[in-house]
Amino acid sequence: MLRYSLCFALLLFASQAFSQEVDEATRAKDARRVKALLRLENVDLDTLPEAKASLVRHLETIQGTDEYLELIRRFKLKAAVPQLVKLAIDKGEETLGVEAAKTLLDFAASDAIDNELAGKDSARAAKLIAAIGLAADPRANDLLEATVQNEERAMPIRSAAAAAIGLNKPGKEKLLKIVEAGKLPKELNFVAANLLLNDPALKDRASKFLTLPATADSKPLPPVAELVKRTGDVAAGKQLFNTTGTCVKCHKVRGEGKEVGPDLSEIGSKLSKDAFYVSILDPSAGISHNYETYTFLLADGTVLNGIMVSQTDAEFQVKTAEAIVRKIPRDEVEEFKKSHISLMPADLQKLLTAQNLVDVVEYLTTLKKQ
Ligand code: HEC
With the most atoms of ligand 1 within 8 angstroms of its CB, the residue from 93, 258, 344, 356 to mutate is: 344
Structural domain total, the chain: 3
Q: How remote is the CA of residue 103 from the centroid of ligand 1, in Å? A: 35
Question: Do 60 and 96 belong to one domain?
Answer: yes
Residue 1's pLDDT band, with cuts at 50, 70 and 90, is very low
Q: How confident is the model at residue 304 (pLDDT cuts 50, 70, 90)?
A: confident
pLDDT tens figures, 141-159: 999 999 999 999 988 899 9
Task: Average the pLDDT over 80-96 and give the result.
Answer: 93
Ligand 1, atom nearest to 284 Cα: 18
Q: Would residue 128 count as lying in a domain?
A: yes
Compute the distance from residue 265 Cα to the ligand 1 centre, in Å. Answer: 12
Q: What is the CATH number of the domain that holds 354?
A: 1.10.760.10
**pLDDT tier at 2 (50, 70, 90 boundaries)?**
very low
Q: Would the CB of 281 count as within 6 Å of ligand 1?
A: no
Same domain? For 90 and 108 the reply is yes
Whether the CB of 267 sits within 6 Å of ligand 1: yes
- 43 with 105, same domain: the answer is yes
Query: Are 14 and 95 within one domain?
Result: yes
Last residue of a domain, one of 132, 149, 166: 149
Kindly indicate the confidence band of residue 16, based on its pLDDT and cuts at 50, 70 and 90: low
Is 102 among the domain residues?
yes
Do 235 and 304 reside in the same domain of the chain? Answer: no
* Interval between CA 279 and ligand 1 midpoint (Å): 7
Q: How is residue 186 annotated by DSSP?
A: G
- In-domain check, residue 207: no
Same domain? 48 vs 113: yes
Query: Which segment of 227-241, 263-277, 322-336 scores lowest on mean pLDDT?
Result: 322-336
Question: What is the domain extent for residue 133?
Answer: 2-149
Give the CATH number, domain containing residue 299: 2.30.30.100
Mean per-residue pLDDT, 89-105 = 92
CA-249 nearest atom, ligand 1: 5
Q: How far apart are CA 361 and CA 142, in angstroms?
A: 35
Q: Are 339 and 321 in contact (CB under 8 A)?
A: no
Question: pTM for the whole thing?
Answer: 0.74
Specify the pLDDT at position 21: 65
Pocket test for ligand 1, best of 224, 278, 279, 294 (most atoms within 8 A of CB): 279
Average the pLDDT over 175-179 and give the result. Answer: 96
Comparing 1-5, 47-51, 99-103, 304-308, the range with the smallest average pLDDT is 1-5
- Please give the single-letter amino acid code of residue 220: P
Centroid of ligand 1 to alpha carbon of 291 (angstroms): 10
Mean per-residue pLDDT, 249-259: 94
The pLDDT value recorded for residue 85 is 96
Output the average pLDDT for the chain: 89
- Say which DSSP state 160 is in: H
Q: Is 306 in the pocket of ligand 1 (CB under 6 A)?
A: no
Taking only the tens place, the pLDDT of each residue in 187-230 is 899 999 999 998 889 999 999 999 888 888 888 889 999 999 99
Domain presence at residue 229: yes
- DSSP per position, 290-336: T--EEEEEETTS-EEEEEEEEE-SSEEEEE-TTSPEEEEEGGGEEEE
Residue 280 C-alpha to ligand 1 middle, in angstroms? 7
pLDDT at 8: 56
Exposure string over 265-292, b if 16+ CB within 10 A, otherwise e? bebbeebebeebbbbbbbbbbbbeeebb
Is residue 208 a part of any domain in this protein? Answer: no
CA torsion 332→335→336→341, rounded to 10°? -120
Q: Look at residue 97 and tell me if it is in a domain.
A: yes
Mutate to test the pocket of ligand 1, among 251, 361, 367 (most ligand atoms within 8 A of CB): 251
Cβ–ligand 1 contact at 357 (below 6 Å): no
- Residue 258, ligand 1, Cβ within 6 A: no
pLDDT on residue 122: 87
* 101, 133, 149 - which closes a domain: 149
Residue 19: pLDDT over 70: no
Least confident of 6-10, 52-56, 234-238, 348-352: 6-10
299 and 245 within one domain: no
Residue 241 pLDDT exceeds 60:
yes
Across residues 243-250, what is the average pLDDT? 94
Q: Phi, psi (5° rounding) for residue 40? A: -80, 150
Query: Is the pLDDT assigned to residue 234 strictly greater than 90?
Result: yes
Q: Is residue 204 domain-resident? A: no
Looking at per-residue pLDDT, the higher value among 12 and 342 belongs to 342
Same domain, 25 and 96: yes
Give the confidence band of 5 by pLDDT, cuts at 50, 70, 90.
Answer: low
Q: In the chain, which residue ranges form alpha helices assigned H by DSSP?
A: 2-17, 24-39, 49-61, 66-74, 81-90, 95-106, 110-118, 122-134, 141-149, 155-165, 169-180, 189-196, 203-206, 224-227, 234-242, 273-281, 354-365
Q: Residues 301, 272: one domain?
A: no
Beta carbons within 8 Å of 298's beta carbon, 6+ residues apart: 304, 328, 332, 333, 334
138 and 246 inside one domain: no
Domain assignment present for residue 58? The answer is yes
β-partners of residue 20 are: none
Summarize pLDDT for 289-300 with one digit per residue, the tens. 889 899 999 888
Same domain for 279 and 332? no
Residue 24 sits in the same domain as residue 90: yes
Give the pLDDT band of residue 134 (cuts 50, 70, 90).
confident
Instruction: Measure Cα distances from 3 to 46, 55, 72, 149 in Å.
Output: 11, 18, 18, 36
Domain stops at, among 149, 168, 183: 149
